[in-house]
Structures are given as structure tokens and as C-alpha cells.
Amino acid sequence: MEVMTRTLLDPARNRRLAYLLTPLVLGPVWFTALVTGWSLTVGLAVTPLVIPMLIVMAFMTRGFAAVEATLARILLDVPVPAPMPRPTRPGFWGWFRGQFGPSFWRAQAYLLIRCFAGFPIAIAVLTALAVAFGTLVWPAWVPFVHGGTNIGFWRPHTFLQ
């Protein structure tokens, strides 16, 4: 019993489970923001408004990646630096080009991977936790089910008899 209690109350394990479950909330946010941002950017490509939209995309992506880096630092104890823009040349266009370096594209790829791979993994982890919890409390609710329950090969009416 002590091993089970120690395992269930282990803060490192609970932080790692929380990290695996964060794509349930953040994955749709990242996906919606990236798809909307790139759709607006492509839609505005023939206008001068594409420049501000690209700047918004650069800062938005960098901010989202900073949130993910903070989550990794807090929940996984991994020293992940936030993505930084490339060193820039003087002038606006030099600064603008520096915003879209390799770190920008890596951050975009990571956010998309976190959406498409992280969300199904989070669903699987949540399902496994729910099944485990249901299995633990099964003996408590079987006597209250009318006619017992059917496990497949065994049909207990109660665990108390």
C-alpha cells in the first residue's frame, strides 16, 4: 500500500502527466492560431498589410514557443531556452529578415507536432487514467447495479457475498 501511495503522490510523475495532458487545452489553441494566422497572411499577400501580418506571425509563434518552453522547464525540469530571433542587420528589412530564421520555423514545426501528435497522446493518457480509476472503484459500485454486472466470463452480483 505504501508503494502505491508513494507512486500516486509522486510530484515528478504528476508533473509529467500534466505535461502530457496540456495539448488537450493548448493544442487546439496553437492549431487555430497558426491556421488563422497563415490564412490571413496568404490572403493579404497581394496587399501591403502582409508585412504587419508576418510580423504578428513571428511574434505570435515566438510567444507560443516561449509558453511551451516554460511548460517544459516547469513540468519536465528540462532547461529549454525560449526561441530568439537571428541577429539582425541594420535597418527595418534586416530586422524583418531576422525574425524568420531557423528558430521561427522550428517553433512552428514544434507547435504543429504538439497539436497533431500531442492531442491524440493526451486523449490516450486521459483514457488510460479513466480506465484505471474505474477499475479501482469497480468493487464499490457493483452492488448497486441492478442485476449485477457482466465482466464477460464472470457475472458477479456483489462482491460482498
**pLDDT digit of tens for each residue in the chain (161 aa)?**
677 777 778 888 889 999 999 999 999 999 999 999 999 999 999 999 999 999 999 999 999 999 999 999 999 989 888 777 666 778 888 878 878 888 889 999 999 999 999 999 999 999 999 988 887 777 777 666 666 566 666 665 555 54
Q: Is 126 exposed, middle or buried (0-12, 13-18, 19+ CB in 10 A)?
A: middle
pLDDT on residue 156: 58
Round to whole Å and give the CA distance between 122 and 128.
10
pLDDT on residue 14: 86
pLDDT on residue 135: 79
Exposure string over 127-159, b if 16+ CB within 10 A, otherwise e: eeeeeeeeeeeeeeebeeeeeeeeeeeeebeee
pLDDT on residue 144: 67
pTM comes to: 0.76
Round to whole Å and give the CA distance between 27 and 116.
8
| Three cell numbers, residue 133 | 480509476
Q: What share of the chain is helix, strand, coil (3-state, %, to 5)?
A: 70, 0, 30
CB atoms within 10 A of CB 35: 12
For residues 80 and 106, the answer to whether their CB atoms sit within 8 Å is: no
| Three cell numbers, residue 58 | 513571428
The backbone torsions φ and ψ at residue 98, rounded to the nearest 5 degrees and listed phi first, read -65, -20
